[in-house]
Amino acid sequence: MTDAEVLRKVVIKATDFNWSEFAIEVLDYQPSYGCDLDTFINYIVTDHTYIIMLFDYSFAKALWGEQFVEFEVPVFSEKGQTYAEHKTCKQIAWKHYLQRMVLHKKRIDYLRRFIE
């Protein structure tokens, strides 16, 4: 699946959950005024404005939601050595996944797991 196809699917998913304000105002995605989805995707891939979209809070909320997700983190000793145990934490989904995506060099590859 190409980067454009991945972006197309995440935009559709986010739009299905009421993401549109940012796309219309900042990225000029206006399907009712003649800018179809494929034109929009080609535009943001070509000039790399998809990065702006990916880090927009409204996009993240629409894509991942505001429910809580649980994840585990290692427990460290005072000397910085990892113990064999983990602590379970909770965080709002969109914040959690957005923070994880920041750490990836290829953000679109990170998104692939949410659409396949």
**In angstroms, what CA-CA distances link 90 with 29, 49, 72, 104?**
34, 31, 9, 21
pLDDT at 27: 57
pLDDT at 37: 78
Q: What is the mean pLDDT of residues 12-30?
A: 68
- According to DSSP, residue 19 is labeled -
**Does the structure show a pLDDT above 80 at 68?**
yes
pLDDT at 31: 52
**Does the structure show a pLDDT above 80 at 33?**
no
Q: What is the mean pLDDT of residues 20-48?
A: 68
Residue 16: how many other CB atoms lie within 10 Å: 10
pTM, rounded to two decimals: 0.74
pLDDT, mean over the chain: 82
Q: Which helix (H) or strand (E) holds 74?
A: strand 68-76
